[in-house]
Structures are given as structure tokens and as C-alpha cells.
Structure 1
Amino acid sequence: MQHFWVVGTDTDVGKTCITTLFMRQLQEQGLQVSPYKPVQTGEVIEQEKAYYFDTTMYEKYSLQKLMREELNEYSFKEPASPHFAAALEGRQIDTMRILGHIKKLQQQYDAVICEGAGGIFVPLDSEGQETLLDVILKSQLPVVVVTRTGLGTINHTLLTLEALASRGIEVLGIVFNGDTGSKMEQNNIDTIIQHCPLPYAVVPQLNGITEVVHYSIKGTSLFERLYQHDKKVI
């Protein structure tokens, strides 16, 4: 079975949109898929209703019925780094609990997609001893990196890939998200792939998650890697 993380080079690069997109397109292939957001922050209140964007989008756009209790481990109201948001509520994040939940989901689903929070070095405890990267390493799962296409992405993306490689974490590929089609963006993509020749997909700048999750990346080298890997082992 193919299970993997979706991680970002930074916050707000579109991890939830891409996780939801992967979920739908693997479900369309007949796989039983569960997304999992170990830690989500930033409670949204609209029309006197409170919700969290990440897991709500999973439920809204899934082609299969999802079990709400399986989608998330910790939710904190403050839109901040997990360690700080947890501290504000007098709580602590137990990474062993997260890892145990991932193992349980792996036994139940064809594909589990774990979505990170922020970038890979985001701290999960108040002492800064344990980061998202540590949890990824302990989970022994590969990752897909989501990055921007604009100015600054070369540095952020290559640093993220180097950090993952230095710890022996397999990178399945890259999603370049929010492309507007400029020459600079194309050069950024080409430069990153030259340095790290990985499977990839380019998602254009679209009008919100509604359009993103209906965009198809089938036929890209990244989707072929994900789905071909699945077909070999199912």
C-alpha cells in the first residue's frame, strides 16, 4: 500500500488543496483513501458556525464517506504554529499518539495521505525538541513536497529537499502550486528539477479550492509514480 505525507516549503502553499486533490484522484482509481491532518490550527467562524478548514475540505470533497474521528488528532483555535497554539490552550502534542494513529490508518486504507502543518521544521512541542520532520522520519513514510512557483521558491524548495535527503526520507515528487505561466516561474520550475530530477506536477493558479480539487494531474510524472506504485502492491 502507498501511504505518504504532503509537506510544504512554508505555510499557505496549498497543502490542504493538494491533499484533497490527491485524495479525490486516487479515490477515482478505486482506492480506499483517508486523508489525515495530525495537527490543525486556526478555527474559522462563519455565520456563528465554527469549523476547521483542512478537515472540513476533506469531508466536503471526498468521493467516499470519511470517518471524522480519523481525520485529525489535535485542533487548536489560534492560527499559529502548533507548539504555540497548543501552549495557549494548556495542552501538549503527543507525537507517539500521532504515529500510532498513522499506523492504525495504514492497516485500514489503501492510501493514507498525511498532511503536514507549515514547513517541515515547524516545532510540535514548547521546548522545540520535536518537529514535524522528526515525526515524518519516525513514520517511515515518503513525502510529496508542495511549493510555490514565484520568486523565492528555488531557495525554499531546495533547502526543504536537502533537509529531507539528509535524513534519508524518500521524496516521491514535487507539486508546483499556483503557477501563472510567467517565464520566471517556468525557469524556477526548470531550475529546481535540474537540481533535483524528481517526478512533478504543475497546478495553475486557480480560483479557490473548488477549482483546484477538480483540476486533473493524471498523466503527470508525479501522479504516475503514486498510482503505478499503488497498482504494483494492491
Structure 2
Amino acid sequence: MGKSIFIVGTGTDVGKTYITALIVKKLREAGKRAAYFKAAASGNVRTETGLIPGDAYFVKKISVIDMELTDMIPYVYENAVSPHLASRMEGNPVNLEVIKEKYQELCHEYDYITMEGSGGILCPVCFDENEIWLEDIIKMLGLSSVLIADAGLGTINAAVLTIEYMKQKGMPVKGIICNHCHTGDPMEEDNKRMIEHRCGIPVIGCVADGAENLDIPLEKLIQLYE
């Protein structure tokens, strides 16, 4: 059975997909059978052959993993809104049993599964047919998380509130990765210290714009998975 970690962000467009791609790339280059999985993705491009799951395509391109796009994201929507609203507009609402089945299939086939969330922790995934929030998926699969946060101004509030909410709801967070980092920036260094001080959870990595590799030791990265 494969080991897994869930990638959650402080919000939309914080860089979850980008950093997830670097994580999967590092595992693959180390000879690990690494998989990417995401329950639902919105804002995808429609072509003559159907919707192209952009997040899955990006991760596949960067990490060069051998996976079919359809196995990486089972629920794909065109409208760039939260999955619950996209499925209201387009149909095909998220079903937890389908997510669980697809996830378990990957666990039997791969060593490490990196599962990316949609939006922030309070993202509604389905609402009309069944009320499903992102946290329901995390709890159903029993996963611990890594939080992706912006390195810049405002991140203390966003990161601490996200982590405190997750702690309150019984969702373990193993570490924080900061995105859009600038080496030696005094504000960003202080942001990391303040987040660690308030949450007691370490900042395990920093990623600069345009980074092609994840500057986290392989052994430390593997320890995040369970």
C-alpha cells in the first residue's frame, strides 16, 4: 500500500499545484513510484476532445510521471468557480465513494500519493446533492497535510487561522512550505518565525518563483508521508 500526504493551501492560487509538482518530481527522480491525485478541479480548458485537467497536465509535465490525466483528477469542470458551484452549473457532482475508490486504486499501484486540495481548507466541494467540504475528503481518507502558504505580507494571519482551524477539526498538519520566497528578505524570515511560534509547526521549505527543484532533503520529504 502506498503512503500519502494531502497538500492544502491558505487559499486559491497560493501555489499548491506548482509545489505539488516539485514534490512529485523529487520523488520520481529518486526512483519512487509517485502519483498525483486531486478530487476535483475547476477552471479547465475545453477542447474538441473535451476538458483538459490543467492541474494534472501541469504536474505531469513538470514531474514526468507516467499517469493518465483521467486517473489524476476524476472530477473536472470548466467554470472557474468552486467545485460545488461548477457541478451545479455543469452537472457531475462529486461523490465521496468515487473519490475513495480512485484513491485506493492509486494506493495499490504507487509508493507515494500526493493529493492536492481545491482552494483553501473551507472549500465546498459539493452542496446540492450532498454537503461535502474539502475537510470531509481529508478526514475520510485519514490523511495528514502539508500547508502551502505565501511567503509575503498577510501570510501570518492566513497560515495561523488555517492551521488552528485544522487542529480544532482534528486534521494533523506536518509542516509548512512557503511559496514566492526571496532569500534574505527580513519580512519573510520574520513571517516564518511568527507562524512557527503561534502554531508550533515547522516551516520545512521555501520555494522561489521559477524554482525547478524542491530544496527539501529526500529523507525529510519521505517522512511526511504515512
Same fold (TM > 0.5): yes
Measured against aligned partners, the alpha-carbon deviations of 1:166-219 in whole angstroms (never above 9, x if no partner) come to: 222221211100023432221111100112233410112x1xxxx33x123133
Q: Secondary structure at the match of 2:180?
A: strand
Q: Identify the residue that residue 216 of structure 2 maps to in structure 1.
A: 218
Looking at structure 1, the residues matched to 43 and 14 of structure 2 have their Cα atoms a distance apart, in angstroms, of 16
Q: Say if 2:85 is the partner of 1:84.
A: yes
Measured against aligned partners, the alpha-carbon deviations of 1:100-144 in whole angstroms (never above 9, x if no partner) come to: 211221111100011100001111123483200111011101111
What does 1:1-234 correspond to in 2, within 5 Å?
Answer: 1-44=2-45, 51-127=52-128, 129-181=131-183, 182-199=185-202, 200-204=204-208, 206=209, 211-212=210-211, 214-219=212-217, 224-228=219-223
Counterpart residue identity of residue 184, structure 1:
M
Counterpart residue identity of residue 165, structure 1:
K
Q: Secondary structure at the match of 1:3?
A: strand
Looking at structure 2, the residues matched to 140 and 49 of structure 1 have their Cα atoms a distance apart, in angstroms, of 33
Gaps of 5+ in 2: none
Q: Secondary structure at the match of 2:115?
A: strand
Aligned residues: 221
1:49 CA displacement: 9.5
Does the aligned pair in 2 maintain the 1:2–1:226 contact within 8 Å?
no
Does the aligned pair in 2 maintain the 1:15–1:115 contact within 8 Å?
yes
Q: Secondary structure at the match of 2:74?
A: strand
Deviates more, 1:56-65 or 1:169-178: 56-65
Looking at structure 1, the residues matched to 116 and 32 of structure 2 have their Cα atoms a distance apart, in angstroms, of 18
Measured against aligned partners, the alpha-carbon deviations of 1:138-159 in whole angstroms (never above 9, x if no partner) come to: 1101111101112221111111
Taking structure 1 as reference, are residues 126 and 11 closer, same or farther at Cα in structure 2, changes over 3 Å only? same
Taking structure 1 as reference, are residues 60 and 22 closer, same or farther at Cα in structure 2, changes over 3 Å only? same
Counterpart residue identity of residue 42, structure 1:
G
Q: Secondary structure at the match of 2:166?
A: helix
Looking at structure 1, the residues matched to 101 and 51 of structure 2 have their Cα atoms a distance apart, in angstroms, of 28
1:31 CA displacement: 0.8
Looking at structure 1, the residues matched to 59 and 124 of structure 2 have their Cα atoms a distance apart, in angstroms, of 24
Identity, in percent, stands at 30
Looking at structure 1, the residues matched to 136 and 50 of structure 2 have their Cα atoms a distance apart, in angstroms, of 35
Looking at structure 1, the residues matched to 91 and 187 of structure 2 have their Cα atoms a distance apart, in angstroms, of 45
1:91 CA displacement: 3.0
TM-score scaled by length of structure 1: 0.86
Does the aligned pair in 1 maintain the 2:45–2:52 contact within 8 Å?
yes
1:97 CA displacement: 1.0
Gaps of 5+ in 1: none
Measured against aligned partners, the alpha-carbon deviations of 1:26-51 in whole angstroms (never above 9, x if no partner) come to: 112211001012101112369x9963
Taking structure 1 as reference, are residues 124 and 45 closer, same or farther at Cα in structure 2, changes over 3 Å only? closer
Q: Secondary structure at the match of 1:180?
A: coil
